[in-house]
Amino acid sequence: MLMLVARLRLLLGAVLLLTMLAVAPPASAQERNPDGSVNPTASSVKENQLLQELKRIQGRGTIPDTRSYTIEQPAGRDWRHFHEVTLRWIGAIAIVGVFVLLLLFYLIRGMVRIESGRSGRVLVRFSGFERLVHWMTATCFIILGISGLNITFGKPLLLPLIGPEAFTTWSLWAKYAHNYLSFPFTLGVVLIFLMWIAWNFPTRVDVNWLREGGGIVGHKHPAADRFNAGQKMVYWIVVLGGGAIAASGYVLMFPFYGTNVAEMQLAEIVHGVVAVLFVAAMLGHIYIGTLGMEGAFEAMWDGTVDMNWAKEHHSLWLEKEASQGKLTAPPAQGTMQAAE
């Protein structure tokens, strides 16, 4: 009996040993060259192979800077192509394109006049707070836009004119302005989102307004509430575009806080593309608010608009306001109205 147990144990041990040998890789087979010499690279990493399998080659280093553990990221070349070629084309086509279109439009259509003339009766369109928020955001936007475009277009356009030293001084200040003015700009976008959201949901009125070309193309005056479909589009461009630009901008401003180099490149791509499209869209906004339409600029500057302007461009809004008695009294006969 004892003999049998001992034999079984021996048999079991032998089977286990054989299994282990069978499972283990044949150690010597791969690590030798055909002629029997040792091949120390049999299991070693090879650069070509790593580059084909991975986007980045990373390892382990001995210094605290973990970014330095990435020794190769050929994607930098692609990002370079985006920044030097693609972004410049997108930006140039969008901004110059919109500028040319606006110029042509102005030459053909001219300023949209108040067709029935000024009535002399005015009503408040934007409160002091609304105008403060608008101009804070607008001022920041213009400075951010110029300092941002400088990073993409300054080198080919401005540097040859003013020379490298002056261009560096200007770019350094532009960079500081860009970084710090991002805070009031973001605050402005948030306030714009909150204070005008109630009037910016699409409605059935907008469909008709768009169908009639907003009264800009042609001479109709489609009905509109406080904001027409075009203004609603500007609102959503500011809110969504501003949100995207702020989010990507803060990633760029706090580099490598939870991001790696690929994500930093992506943030720059998003920031650049949204920014140039944003600038192009705002050119249209600036045009219609100044040169493009009589009586529009004063709405945001003085806060008031003429009754006839409101009748032609925001008839539904005027009805509501008038019913609440918010129109000023008609001017007394024979007295001159101060030019508004």
Instruction: Classify the phi-psi angles of 234: left when phi > 0, otherwise alpha if psi is within -120 to 50, otherwise beta.
Output: alpha
Rounded Cα gap, residues 336 and 334, in angstroms? 7
From residue 329, alpha-carbon distances to 121, 313, 324, 326 in Å are: 6, 21, 13, 9
User: Closest separation between CB of residue 29 and another protein, Å?
Assistant: 14
Rounded to a whole number of angstroms, the minimum distance from the CB of residue 152 to another protein is: 8
Closest separation between CB of residue 253 and another protein, Å?
A: 6
Is the CB of 154 or the CB of 215 nearer to another protein? 154
**Two tokens, residue 258:** 């939870």
Smallest distance from another protein to CB 161, Å: 13
Decide whether 48 or 323 has the Cβ nearer to another protein.
48
| Dihedral angle computed from the Cα positions of residues 271, 277, 279 and 285, in that order, rounded to the nearest 10 degrees | -140
Q: Which is nearer to another protein, 121 or 155 (CB)?
A: 155
Q: How far is the CB of 188 from another protein (least distance, A)?
A: 20
Distance CA(3)–CA(9), nearest Å, equals 10
Residues near another protein (CB under 8 A) are 33, 37, 39-48, 50-51, 57-63, 65, 67-77, 79-80, 83-84, 150-152, 154-155, 159, 164-165, 167-168, 171-172, 175-176, 178-180, 253-257, 261, 264-265, 268
Q: Characterize 290-315 residue by residue with b for buried, 16 or more Cβ atoms within 10 angstroms of its Cβ, and e for exposed.
A: eebbbbbebbbeebbbbbbbbbbbbe
Q: Return the number of the residue (187 or 223) whose C-beta is nearest another protein.
A: 187
Distance of alpha carbon 145 from alpha carbon 65, whole angstroms: 33
Measure the CA angle with vertex 118, ends 211 and 116; round to 5°: 45
Which DSSP state fits 306? Answer: E
42 vs 92 by CB, closer to another protein: 42
**Minimum distance, C-beta of residue 74 to another protein, in the bound complex (Å):** 5
Nearer to another protein, 136 or 158 (CB): 158
